[in-house]
Structures are given as structure tokens and as C-alpha cells.
């Protein structure tokens, strides 16, 4: 039996960082995001042999593990192993083959690691016929990453990947509430026409940046407290601007969010990122930001529509790589491979 799953990567417009503990428990967070047509994919094949094989295109790794020995966390595909441990535990240990790949590398700022966890859970759900709700899937992905593996990070990526589309997500000590936004399709088409996605040429380890941010918050550094509260408030303002179709305001608010985000930790930006951003602003970008925790990965820009091609050309001359994308409205999807189709 073969099943496949895919989950969409996400763009976070505002609120990133307010979904991280202990800010969530103490002050509550809010994020505005959308998913895009870049995905994490998982293929799962059930077999009778007493082993598990994992093939990762992203890491160029093929690893095999016996079912009769504990699967050790050794720095190689540990997050994948953590999902397998949760979903293929002692009660139903079966031989499995996995093939995994993602449209963006880990550390890109598009939530690729969390999205892969969601895709893996989706494949197991399809295989086991598990009746999990979207909230339960996202919470399970969060628990695997943040508690089982103790990887520092927030909550938004798991929920965005599961639910898909444009969402305003609220985080409190006791609950996560996903509010799907019913935005006029003409507004979304216009938004997409103005947005530009540029890969900066390097990835980064988000946990290191988040550690700096969290430590500063715990020390109650006034600048960080003010910046996080401002980022949360901007998420509400940007949601309202989007729903009303005030896209120029949306672009300017994106810039305000970037200014506030840079106050959270020194590693969020560097001279290369600043150069790319300033070049875009000089040539007609109203606003933008580094996606994810910062420090590298993808930069999102809101451009004047007749300047977008100029900005793209300028950024590529500086070493950036412009990436075409569209919005995704479906979230995680799973399916079985019909017997008459080649399985790969």
C-alpha cells in the first residue's frame, strides 16, 4: 500500500515571534499568514520486512533502521524519526519506506521543517485511517517538534500548513484559534500581483535567533517588549487592511513590521539583507520583511506594480533569486496511489 501527502509552505505577513513561549502564555499572540504553492511531500509505503527506510531528497540521505532495535536520535533525520516514533509505535510497528522532499530548504523562513512534520503525520493518517481534526493534527505536529524534540520555535507553522489559505491565527495560554479570512478574490489577485518573493541565497538556524529573542523577553528588555506588542498590533491592522482591500496601507504596514522585527534580535538582519531591502525600497517597494525568524532565507516585498520587474532585476544583480509563486487555499492533502499507476 502506498500513500502520499503534501502540505503547503507559508508566508507570514505579521505577528511572527508572538507565537513563541513564554510571550504566548503571558500576553497572547496573533499572526497573519497565507500558504503558497510550494510544498513538503511525503510518500509512505507499507511492506512486510522488519525495517524502515527513509530517503530524503533535501539532505541527499538514504537511511535504514531495523524495527527490532530502538531508533536512535543521532542528528540525522531526527525530526522524521520523532514522527515515526509517535505514529508507528510499539503497538503497530510495521515495515515502512519513506520518500521525502520539499520545495524549499530547511531554514528558508517558509516553515519547511514544521510543514514536513505535518505532511508525515498526514501520510500516517491516511495509512491508519486516523480520524484527527485539523486542530489535532497541528497540535500533534507542535508537540513532536517543540516537546518531543525540544526544538525552539513558535506555533504558527503547523497550523498554517494544516489549514491552508489566508488565516488570522490567535494564540493564548489555553487555545489556538484559526480564523480563516474571506477575502474578495479580486483583492487576493491584486495582492499577488504586487508581491515579490526573493531568496537571499542563504539559510539560517532559526532556533538560535529565537533563543536570543526569548532571553531578551524573559529579561523584560523594554525595547523587545515594545517591539513584540507592536508586531502583534500590526497583525491586526494588516488583517483589517487586507479585508478592506487597502493594499497600499498593507504594503506600508509590512515595512513597519520589519522595522519592529529588527528590534527583537541583532541576528535577524545583516549587511547583505539590509542591502537587498534598501535596494528594493529605493526602486519602488512600499515594504517587506525577511520571512521566518530572520537571518536569511526568503524576503517578501510589496512593490508598486509597475516597478516590480525593476526591483526583481536589481535584486538578482545583487545575488538574490526571485521565485514565482501563487497562493494555496487547500492546506494539507493526502491520497492513496491507485494500483494501476506507477508508484515511483
Q: Which residues have CB under 8 Å from 60's CB, separation 6+?
A: none
Q: What is the pLDDT of residue 338?
A: 81
- Whether residues 269 and 285 fall in one domain: yes
Q: What is the pLDDT of residue 229?
A: 96
- Whether residues 322 and 178 fall in one domain: no
Strands lying side by side in the sheet with 285-290:
285-290, 298-303, 195-199, 321-323
Residue 163 lies in a domain: yes
Residue 169 lies in a domain: yes
Residue-range definition of the domain harbouring residue 167:
2-182
Give CA–CA dist 242/132, Å, rounded. 31
Residue 304 lies in a domain: yes
- Whether residues 137 and 7 fall in one domain: yes
Query: How many structural domains is the chain composed of?
Result: 2
Q: How confident is the model at residue 207 (pLDDT cuts 50, 70, 90)?
A: low
Residue 342 lies in a domain: no
- Whether residues 18 and 159 fall in one domain: yes
Give CA–CA dist 291/47, Å, rounded. 40
Residue 218 lies in a domain: yes
Q: How confident is the model at residue 206 (pLDDT cuts 50, 70, 90)?
A: low
Which cell is 316 given?
Answer: 538578482
**Residue of 19, 103, 157, 328 marked catalytic:** 157
Beta bridge partners of 301: 196, 288
Give CA–CA dist 244/227, Å, rounded. 25
Task: Considering only CA atoms, give the Rg of the chain.
Answer: 20
Domain boundary among 160, 182, 204: 182
Q: What is the pLDDT of residue 27?
A: 95
- Whether residues 24 and 167 fall in one domain: yes
The model scores a pTM over 0.85 = yes
Domain boundary among 141, 162, 182: 182
Residue 77 lies in a domain: yes
Give CA–CA dist 141/92, Å, rounded. 20
- Whether residues 211 and 104 fall in one domain: no
In the predicted structure, residue 339 carries a pLDDT above the cut 80: no
In the predicted structure, residue 162 carries a pLDDT above the cut 60: yes
Residues 252-297: tens digit of each pLDDT: 999 999 999 999 988 888 999 999 999 999 999 999 999 987 778 8
- Whether residues 125 and 146 fall in one domain: yes
Instruction: Specify whether the CB–CB gap between 35 and 331 falls below 8 A.
Output: yes
Percent of the chain with pLDDT over 70: 95
Q: What is the CATH number of the domain that holds 258?
A: 3.30.70.890
Q: How confident is the model at residue 141 (pLDDT cuts 50, 70, 90)?
A: very high
Residue 157: active-site member: yes
- Whether residues 150 and 31 fall in one domain: yes
Residues 93-120: tens digit of each pLDDT: 778 999 999 998 877 889 999 999 999 9
Q: Which residues have CB under 8 Å from 67's CB, separation 6+?
A: 50, 51, 52, 93, 94, 95
Q: What is the CATH number of the domain that holds 122?
A: 3.30.230.10
Q: What count of residues does the chain have?
A: 344
Domain boundary among 162, 182, 202: 182
- Whether residues 63 and 23 fall in one domain: yes
Closest CA to 197 of 115, 315, 278, 332: 315
Q: What is the mean pLDDT of the chain?
A: 92
Residue 340 lies in a domain: no
- Whether residues 22 and 167 fall in one domain: yes
Closest CA to 325 of 38, 106, 103, 116: 38
Residues 51-73: tens digit of each pLDDT: 899 999 887 889 998 888 888 89
- Whether residues 210 and 166 fall in one domain: no
Q: How confident is the model at residue 91 (pLDDT cuts 50, 70, 90)?
A: very low
What angle (nearest 5°) sits at the alpha carbon of residue 247, between those of residues 244 and 252?
125
Q: Which letter does DSSP use for residue 266 in this model? A: G
Which cell is 279 given?
Answer: 535596494
- Collapsed DSSP state (helix, strand, coil) of residue 342: coil
Residues 3-56: tens digit of each pLDDT: 999 999 999 999 999 999 999 999 999 999 999 999 999 999 988 888 899 999
Q: What is the pLDDT of residue 20?
A: 93
Buried b (16+ CB within 10 A) or exposed e, 108-135: bbbbbbbbbbbbbbbbbbbbeeeebeee
* Helices 134-142 and 156-163, packing angle to 10 deg: 150
Closest CA to 170 of 19, 30, 22, 23: 30
Q: How confident is the model at residue 195 (pLDDT cuts 50, 70, 90)?
A: very high
Mean pLDDT of 151-173: 96
Give CA–CA dist 161/318, Å, rounded. 31
Give CA–CA dist 314/276, Å, rounded. 9
Percent of the chain with pLDDT over 90: 76
Closest CA to 227 of 173, 294, 164: 294
Residue 141 lies in a domain: yes
- Whether residues 173 and 262 fall in one domain: no
Amino acid at each position: 500500500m502506498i500513500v502520499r501527502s503534501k502540505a503547503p509552505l507559508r508566508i507570514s505577513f505579521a505577528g511572527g515571534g508572538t507565537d513563541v513561549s513564554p510571550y504566548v502564555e503571558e500576553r497572547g499572540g496573533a499572526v497573519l499568514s497565507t500558504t503558497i504553492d510550494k510544498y513538503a511531500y511525503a510518500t509512505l509505503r507499507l511492506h512486510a520486512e522488519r525495517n524502515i527506510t527513509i530517503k530524503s531528497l533535501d539532505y541527499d540521505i538514504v537511511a535504514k533502521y531495523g524495527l527490532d532495535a530502538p531508533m536512535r536520535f543521532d542528528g540525522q533525520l531526527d525530526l522524521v524519526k520523532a514522527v515515526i516514533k509517535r505514529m508507528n509505535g510499539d503497538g503497530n510497528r510495521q515495515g515502512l519506506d519513506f520518500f521525502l522532499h520539499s520545495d524549499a530548504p530547511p531554514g528558508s523562513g517558509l516553515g519547511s521543517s514544521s510543514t514536513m512534520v505535518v505532511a508525515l503525520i498526514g501520510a500516517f493518517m491516511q495509512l491508519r485511517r486516523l480520524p484527527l481534526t485539523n486542530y489535532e493534527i497541528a497540535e500533534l505536529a507542535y508537540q513532536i517538534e517543540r516537546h518531543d524534540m525540544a526544538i525552539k520555535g513558535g506555533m504558527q507553522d503547523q497550523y498554517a500548513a494544516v489549514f491552508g489559505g489566508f488565516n488570522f491565527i490567535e494564540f493564548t495560554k489555553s487555545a489556538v484559534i484559526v480564523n480563516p479570512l474571506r477575502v474578495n478574490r479580486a483583492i487576493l489577485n491584486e495582492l499577488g500581483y504586487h508581491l515579490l518573493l526573493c531568496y537571499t541565497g542563504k539559510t539560517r538556524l532559526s532556533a538560535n535567533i529565537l533563543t536570543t529573542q526569548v532571553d531578551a523577553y524573559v529579561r523584560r528588555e523594554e525595547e523587545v517588549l515594545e517591539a513584540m506588542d507592536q508586531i502583534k498590533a500590526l497583525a491586526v491592522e494588516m488583517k483589517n487592511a487586507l479585508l478592506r482591500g487597502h493594499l497600499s496601507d498593507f504594503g506600508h504596514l509590512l515595512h513597519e513590521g520589519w522595522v519592529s522585527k529588527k528590534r527583537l534580535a541583532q541576528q535577524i538582519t545583516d549587511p547583505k539583507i539590509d542591502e537587498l531591502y534598501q535596494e528594493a525600497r529605493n526602486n519602488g517597494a512600499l515594504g517587506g520583511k525577511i520571512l521566518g525568524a530572520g537571518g536569511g532565507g526568503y524576503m517578501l516585498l510589496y512593490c508598486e506594480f509597475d516597478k516590480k520587474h525593476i526591483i526583481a532585476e536589481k535584486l538578482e544583480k545583487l545575488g538574490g533569486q526571485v521565485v514565482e509563486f501563487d497562493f494555496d487555499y487547500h492546506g494539507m492533502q493526502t491520497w492513496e496511489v491507485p494500483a494501476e499507476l506507477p508508484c515511483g
